[in-house]
Chain A
């Protein structure tokens, strides 16, 4: 842990509310995106991301400082996602609830403003539609991956974390992370071929 993280954790342990607000500001986008990419639904993602921060607030005393605070936070988020995914699967949620419509989200941001995503970087309207379809396809194919593979793809190829950090989050050996990630990438490549 670096000095800043150390100080933040110390203040969080004292239940310093300003520190908690700072922690949310720092990590909310990463946590929300991880959860959103794992579940594919913004409402579920919002609810679960809130739950992640509530857990952090409650369990901060159990953080031993063996890893970076962000790693511990990600671990909580990934575990929450797995549990929620199982819970929703038992209720056949994914069979009845479609993934978020990317087009709709692209037109209106969560705060009513424009979003800056894959398709938004494309200036031509026809290319923009292709971009939207690609993003929708990516989200669908990520949802179709096995649970462990899904988390690895998101952590590594969407969030850009290092293998070492991913191994620490998932508590898997680095070699296992690499081999599972390779399989996930090859699966996604085959399934996305027609969109690329």
Chain B
């Protein structure tokens, strides 16, 4: 067995997964080879150091933060541990603002209609719908002004 072949077996050997025949071959090589023995020792120390890395504890409020994240993304559907008053009801606020804007728009339109100037006389009779209903429309046949007759005849009294 050469160095390279021996090194290829190191991981399996340390994991205890090398078949017994190959274990014997490797051990025979290690008995004669200082280089491979040193390499195997270094690998053992490396693995031991990795296994010795103690767990780093997560922050104490880790679970609460995860729940908050889910609650935020589900818009309060899950983990609704806060009182409703603590949560800003943006959907209701938006709805009320839209309704207020619509009402204001309608009121503005109404105000514009009320201050609209009367239509000029040349407009057709059907147009002046904006005249107040209390003023009766003058009949079209009524004379604008009585003029005295010049032929001396008297009109009916």
Chain A interfacial positions (CB closer than 8 Å to B): 15, 17, 20-21, 24-25, 28-30, 32-33, 36-37, 42, 46, 49-51, 53-54, 57, 105, 109-111, 115-118, 120-121, 134-135, 138, 153, 157-158, 160, 178, 181-182, 185-186, 188-189, 192-193, 196
Contacts and interface: CB of A to CB of B under 8 A. Distances in A.
B57 A118 contact: no
Contact of A117 (B11, B54, B70): B54
A17 B42 CA distance: 48
B56 A110 contact: yes
Given A115-B57, A120-B54, A135-B53, A182 B63 contact: no
Contacts of B57: 29, 32, 109-111, 115
Contact of B47 (A53, A110, A157): A157
A149 to B, nearest CB: 13
A32 B62 contact: yes
B45 interface: yes
Interface residues of B, number: 33
A196 B45 contact: yes
B19 to A, nearest CB: 14
B58 A49 contact: yes
B56 A25 contact: no
A105 B56 contact: yes
Given A178-B11, A178-B12, A196-B42, A28 B53 contact: no
A118 B52 contact: yes
B66 A24 contact: yes
Given A17-B78, A50-B65, A189-B42, A32 B56 contact: yes
A177 to B, nearest CB: 11
B59 interface: yes
A46 B58 contact: yes
Dominant secondary structure of chain A at its interface with chain B: helix
Residue from the set A25, A36, A110 with the largest chain B CB neighbour count within 10 Å: A110
Given A15-B78, A50-B65, A50-B69, A189 B43 contact: yes
Nearest to B57: A110
B51 A182 contact: no
B75 interface: no
B11 A185 contact: yes
Nearest to B46: A189
Contacts of A110: 56-60
Contacts of B58: 28-29, 32, 46, 49, 110
Q: Which 8 A-B pairs have the closest CB atoms?
A: A117-B54, A32-B58, A182-B11, A157-B50, A24-B63, A189-B46, A196-B45, A53-B66
Contact of B54 (A46, A53, A118): A118
B55 interface: yes
Nearest to B62: A28
Contacts of A185: 10-11, 43, 46-47
Contacts of B73: 54
B2 interface: no
Contacts of B66: 24, 50, 53-54
B145 interface: no
